[in-house]
A = this chain, B = another copy of it.
Amino acid sequence: LKAAHDAWSGWLVVFLVGVGAGTCAGIIDIGASWMTDLKLGVCPQAFYLNREQCCWAENDTDQLKFNDKGCSKWHTWAELFNILGDNAGSYIINYLFYVLWGFGLATLAVSLVRAFAPYACGSGIPEIKTILSGFIIRGYLGKWTLLIKSITMMLAVSAGLSLGKEGPLVHVACCCGNIFSYLFPKYGKNEAKKREVLSAASAAGVSVAFGAPVGGVLFSLEEVSYYFPMKTLWRSFFCALVAAFVLRTINPFGTDHLVMFYVEYDTPWFFFELVPFLLLGVFGGLYGAFFIKMNLKWCKYRKTSKLGKFPVVEVITLALITAIISYPNPYTRMSSSQLIELLFNDCGPEDNFKLCNYKHNYTLMLHTGNVAASPAGPGVYESLWLLLLALIFKGVITVFTFGIKVPAGLFIPSMAVGACAGRLLGIGMEQAVYFNNDWGIFEDLCKPSTPCVNPGLYAMVGAAAALGGVTRMTVSLVVIMFELTGGLQYIVPLMVAVMTAKWVGDAFGREGIYDGHIYLNGYPYLDSKREFVHSTIASDVMRPRRADPPLSVITQEGMTVEELENLTTESSYNAYPMVVSKESQRLSGLVQRKDLTIALANARKFQEEVVSQSQVFFSNHVPRYSLPGQPSPLKLTKILDQSPFQVTDQTPMETVVEMFRKLGLRTCLVTHNGRLLGIITKKDVLRHWAMLKNQDPDSIMFH
């Protein structure tokens, strides 16, 4: 029965995490979409409805989506003050309210974060990667973080800041994972087991963020997790599915889809299109490299300059700037998710907003039943300029936004940038093909009466490329995008773009944005992806270095209580190797400083016969009776770890690094012919690594 409970508790905890993550995501989606619409207007009859719900009764919801006029029931702020019509007055009132709401929401968000949960800021993925690699950050996954991050995420997204809620959703899911794992002692009390739950939780986070359960599992596997045993794979999948299912039941968008920008294409793509897709990949890689470099520079500046001392002011200023610049351009006025949705979608014959302003030949269309390729109208050309401006604005403002003290993911802004670029190129290709359909390569494939180039697909490929350039995700990104489109045939374009983006990006620097932030914050994270190719050996890395004082060791017998106490107070090492005797230096174990201090203090307190001169024995050869005149001995066999990890001094560092990574070591002892030579800690490895990369090893600092 106990075994059954044991086995089930693992499933139960991931089930609960899935339910929790799905529910949080649902609430956040609903809240964010309501507050986002609040910037534009309100539903006077029922203020708690968002624009789409408000206009439910009136039919034309599809056209409503991408234009902010709304329906008769929905009032813009100007209309609410009885300033009707499209005049300067109403424009200014609406503009003012837009900026004010952005200001208000951002202020509320950053104040909540500052006041209640400082850990709720940022994307959280760098920290979760570090936690999953074995480092513990207390309170990072607590219930306050969960609550405040959920609330401020809605606020920050609605404020119109250029940030997304995908990374923070992973953090929120991990908070759920941490909280629920305390319900089961097996998981709550064992950090390694808890990390399994967290791996599953991060899969659930991506699953609800993109409606992509399989992609979520792969994301957890590829990007977030450090150890990923098979059992975790299966549980992560279960967790991701449960979360997706719960979110679908909540149905925040009322469309039966889990994300706003789900699309289904039904036109094929042609081989010649691989060239533009490749170009999009190059763009994605370049943008990623630019973004990473600039963002890290700005974050470093924030850390070292006065700016870091005024996070609230920074957020509010940024929110004001963003709102002021965003409003005039309709493509930045709408939320990034809506923009992505708009750009991903193809133009139907009845779509009458500017981006779809084509000079359709309706006679031909009626005849063939297809939406044929058509020349672009003036609205499309205007959109091109606005999209270009949106691209530049979003690309630049995100550099300053990622890292501010509110929850901020960068999936959505990166995708928006890529989608703009993709749509621009897509429209260009579409028109190029239309006006040159007598060229050899286009002629056979693209009939004038059928659609040929699909600008929406280009937007999606561009989004994938930009996101790939920024995060350097690969398989998981392709699968997430593939789950968004629901067609296996678009995997090749996506893969071409993502792969190119990664290669181009890697040419400018191998680390993705998350690794960059891990390094910037000095977390002790041993990258498991990079290969260690240098030919150094363990004795090059171990301490003591040649000039250093010898290692502080403990002998198995013969040291007195006082000597040990002095050792623990004088040196600050976390652990002391133990040798059989100072002469032989034969290694016999490892003692944790913490254990030693506690054991000595306890002995002093409760064992009256123990005095400063008492000999301490870590072996089993304690003399039965103390010799007359000698103080009675103290036996501390229990605190000795008799199986420390050890390598010889000649072991290549490649092997040592493998051991640290795969076995999750913190320390490793170095021996030569059975004699203790030195010690290697995770910190030493990281320092050595930094040195080999010509970086300052002292910049590797742990908090």
> Which residues of A pack against B, CB within 8 Å?
213-214, 217, 221-222, 229-231, 233-234, 237-238, 241, 245, 474-475, 478-479, 482-483, 486-488, 491-492, 495, 499, 528-529, 537-538, 580, 584, 586-589, 642-648, 650-652, 655, 658-659, 662-663, 671, 673-676
Which residue of B482, B491, B586 contacts A674 across the interface (Cβ within 8 Å)?
B586
| Closest Cβ–Cβ distance, residue A621 to chain B (whole Å) | 12
Q: What are 29 A-B contacts with C-beta separation under 8 Å?
A: A213-B491, A214-B214, A214-B482, A222-B233, A230-B528, A233-B474, A233-B475, A237-B478, A237-B495, A241-B491, A241-B495, A486-B486, A537-B643, A580-B673, A580-B674, A584-B674, A586-B673, A586-B675, A587-B673, A589-B648, A642-B648, A643-B647, A643-B651, A643-B652, A643-B655, A644-B648, A646-B648, A671-B674, A673-B674
Return chain B residues, CB-CB under 8 Å to A230: 222, 528-529
Docked pose: A231 CA to B529 CA in angstroms: 7
Docked pose: A491 CA to B243 CA in angstroms: 13
**Which residue on chain B has the smallest CB distance to residue A233?**
B475
| Closest Cβ–Cβ distance, residue A319 to chain B (whole Å) | 37
| Closest Cβ–Cβ distance, residue A223 to chain B (whole Å) | 9
Docked pose: A588 CA to B475 CA in angstroms: 45
Return chain B residues, CB-CB under 8 Å to A486: 486-488
**CB <8 Å contact, B643 and A474:** no
Other A-B pairs, 14, CB within 8 Å; known A231-B529, A245-B492: A214-B214, A222-B233, A230-B529, A233-B475, A234-B474, A237-B474, A586-B674, A586-B675, A588-B674, A643-B655, A644-B648, A655-B663, A674-B674, A674-B676
Return chain B residues, CB-CB under 8 Å to A673: 580, 586-588, 674
Docked pose: A554 CA to B647 CA in angstroms: 20
Docked pose: A214 CA to B212 CA in angstroms: 13
Docked pose: A642 CA to B528 CA in angstroms: 26
Return chain B residues, CB-CB under 8 Å to A647: 643, 645-646
Which residue of B482, B488, B642 contacts A650 across the interface (Cβ within 8 Å)?
B642
Q: A663-B659, A675-B674 are in contact. Are A233 and B217 (CB under 8 A)?
A: no
Q: A233-B221, A648-B644, A675-B674 are in contact. Are A483 and B488 (CB under 8 A)?
A: yes
A-B complex: 7 closest residue pairs judged by Cβ atoms: A674-B674, A586-B674, A643-B651, A642-B650, A662-B662, A588-B673, A643-B648
**Which residue on chain B has the smallest CB distance to residue A217?**
B475
Docked pose: A234 CA to B659 CA in angstroms: 23
**CB <8 Å contact, B495 and A238:** yes
| Closest Cβ–Cβ distance, residue A693 to chain B (whole Å) | 16
Return chain B residues, CB-CB under 8 Å to A644: 648
Docked pose: A442 CA to B659 CA in angstroms: 58
| Closest Cβ–Cβ distance, residue A473 to chain B (whole Å) | 10
Return chain B residues, CB-CB under 8 Å to A231: 529
Interface centre among A222, A479, A487, A589 (most CB of B within 10 A): A479
Docked pose: A213 CA to B475 CA in angstroms: 11
Return chain B residues, CB-CB under 8 Å to A586: 586, 673-675
Return chain B residues, CB-CB under 8 Å to A221: 233
Q: A491-B213, A586-B673 are in contact. Are A646 and B643 (CB under 8 A)?
A: no
**Which residue on chain B has the smallest CB distance to residue A215?**
B214
**Which residue on chain B has the smallest CB distance to residue A588?**
B673
